Chain A
Amino acid sequence: MVDADKIEMLEDKARAIRLTVLNMIAEAGKGHIGGAYSCTDIIVALYYGGILRFAPDNPSWGLRDRFILSKGHSGSALFAVLADLGYFDTSELALYCKNGSILGGHPDRNVPGIEADTGSLGHGLGIGAGMALAAKLNNTGQRVFVLVGDGECAEGAVWEAMVFAARHKLANLTLIIDRNRQCVLDFTEDCAPLDPFSDKLAAFGWDTREINGHSFEEILAVLEEPVAIVEDRPRAIVANTVKGKGVSFMEGILKWHHAVPNQDELFAARTELAQQTNYQAS
């Protein structure tokens, strides 16, 4: 059972990160707010929930766990978290996507705390599998977490990596799928269907769980489970999420994949996020 204070702290943090992302995207006049919001709670749980081992004052610490945001277009949420943790100055966030900024539309390793350049979809799981294999060969006990979008799973390379990770028994590798059921033009089931997704992952040899990706109780419960050493299987978490989560008029609406709020929408979104002092996951 996860304690209530921790849940409240995480909910407050997620709200603050969403506000930061909103301001970054409004200031830049571009960004992918829908997908950033669907995975904000997952990223917050990883970094603030005591899951990842990391050291903001020493980003290249050899024994750190690795997190790869394979759905790189949600980089704004990760940048907001890394800045908040002290990997770089929060003033950089105001320069997001502006001339000469270190922060672009997608993560790259010039940004302290970023482990892999992503943005082209379908690469992150293979890279994470390589990192997990290296940790296994070196016997360092490090864990690797890869967050992919569900739309991204239409890329065949994701499934190649699933086969590889199961074959090499990468129990130190955790795949989290941001299952918001939307891609750019369509709902996933209308263009490249994935259901029954959990069954497919299990059939590929993964220790598979399905959770509400906006419930910190459920996210932490599954992430805090010990690594499945006995079963020697990589773990997949299908996190059911809502694109645009946290701002009611964005939730589940396709256009908010990469729409930018106008002044009225910005005001409404800020107001709504500010009111969620006790953010209720649903």
Chain B
Amino acid sequence: MTKSIDIRDAFFDELYEIAAKDHSVIFMAADMGAFSLERFRRDFPDRFINVGIAEQNLISVAAGLALSGKKVFVYAIIPFITLRCLEQIKVDLCIMNLPVTIIGAGSGFTYSSDGPTHHAIEDVSIMRALPGMTIFNPSDQITAQHAAKSASDAAGPVYVRLDKGAWPVLHEAGEDLSKGLTHLRNGSELLIIATGNMTHSALQIADELHHSGIKAGVVDLFCLKPVSGELVGIAKGYDRIVTLEEHTLAGGMGSAVLELFAGFEVMIPVKRFGIQDVYPAGYGDREWMKKEQGIDAGLLINKLSAIYGTICERIT
């Protein structure tokens, strides 16, 4: 078992290796650091630029650099590096289709008690609406490294939504992750499609459901745009599907899955779990926030057991 490291460090360590080989790589931050970035700044001082708290200009400057042959990575807390400069992302990166990677820190309720200004619960919906944008939402250090590599190879804009902390490793080093998803656990009755840290909840939930006799499988969907058509084939091996995300249901991962299924006329019932159409009130830690929104693992086990236990008994 690989010892897990912080998902951000995994991403930035991989980026360091890429930048060591590829001198066109430039890193730009809007006054945001990370432990593993210190090495990048020390060893490549000309290619590490802190623009200060000015995300709009950050994106435009990144576009200018990319138009001059540079491969640019920009970094800040998610709401500021996506929504504050959304129109710059649309015009300067997406319309011009430039190889700039937006690294957002703090998916979902990572910055829990900092409140709704710092939560990232609608970024996927919004970034997903931009034509040409690729979106990664890594669940562990291996998918984070994969996102860094894929971003550096991309010809157009990429958004990487980074969680925080050392999460259990779900993938093997060297595993083929090119489809943007992995079928982590096989089953037949209920498929749980999850993304980011919710994948870890999904595995816990699947374990509990197995104890109740429900044959639950799990897919980790770490590339949210484009969603691989392989998901259709996997889904067809199940009776029912649920999606789990620490994000608003309006346009998030669950919506992306439904859009894919609609395109292929997949007729399997789908139930989505995520954040309702509200800005959550109150302050607390991440687990408290998730409980309040009804998406912590314990609550979901109860809900899914109640719904699918009955259904599965009826089917058998």
Contacts and interface: CB of A to CB of B under 8 A. Distances in A.
B65 A126 contact: no
A120 interface: yes
B131 interface: no
A122 to B, nearest CB: 8
12 contacts: A109-B96, A120-B91, A126-B57, A127-B60, A127-B63, A130-B60, A132-B64, A133-B64, A134-B64, A135-B68, A138-B68, A163-B52
Given A156-B56, A161-B57, A161-B60, A130 B51 contact: no
Given A116-B67, A117-B96, A127 B87 contact: no
A137 B46 contact: yes
A143 interface: no
Contacts of B92: 116-117, 123, 126-127
Given A123-B88, A130-B68, A134-B68, A160 B62 contact: no
Given A131-B64, A131-B68, A134-B70, A163 B96 contact: no
Interface string B32-69: 00000000000000100101101011011111111111
A109 B96 CA distance: 8
B155 interface: no
A157 B67 contact: no
B62 A130 contact: yes
Interface of B: 46, 49, 51-52, 54, 56-57, 59-70, 87-88, 91-92, 95-96
A120 B57 CA distance: 14
Contact of B65 (A116, A131, A156): A131
A17 interface: no
Given A109-B96, A123-B91, A157-B88, A130 B52 contact: no
Contacts of B60: 123-127, 129-130, 157, 161
Given A163-B54, A164-B54, A117 B95 contact: yes
A116 B63 CA distance: 9
| Interface residues of chain B: helix, strand, loop or mixed (majority) | helix
Interface of A: 108-109, 115-117, 119-120, 122-135, 137-138, 156-157, 160-161, 163-164, 168
B56 A160 contact: yes
A123 B57 CA distance: 8
A127 B54 contact: no
Contacts of B96: 109, 116-117
A126 B61 contact: yes
A162 to B, nearest CB: 9
A160 B63 CA distance: 15
Contacts of B59: 126
A226 B60 CA distance: 27
Contacts of B91: 117, 119-120, 123
**10 residue pairs, one from A and one from B, having the closest CB atoms:** A130-B64, A126-B60, A134-B68, A160-B57, A130-B61, A127-B64, A160-B54, A157-B56, A130-B65, A131-B64
A68 B87 CA distance: 18
Contacts of B87: 120
B61 A129 contact: yes
Contacts of B46: 137
Contacts of A156: 56
A123 to B, nearest CB: 5
Contacts of A127: 60-61, 63-64, 67, 92
A124 B63 CA distance: 10
Nearest to B54: A160
Nearest to B62: A130
A106 to B, nearest CB: 10
Given A117-B95, A120-B91, A134-B69, A164 B51 contact: yes
Contacts of A134: 64-65, 68-70
Contacts of A160: 51, 54, 56-57
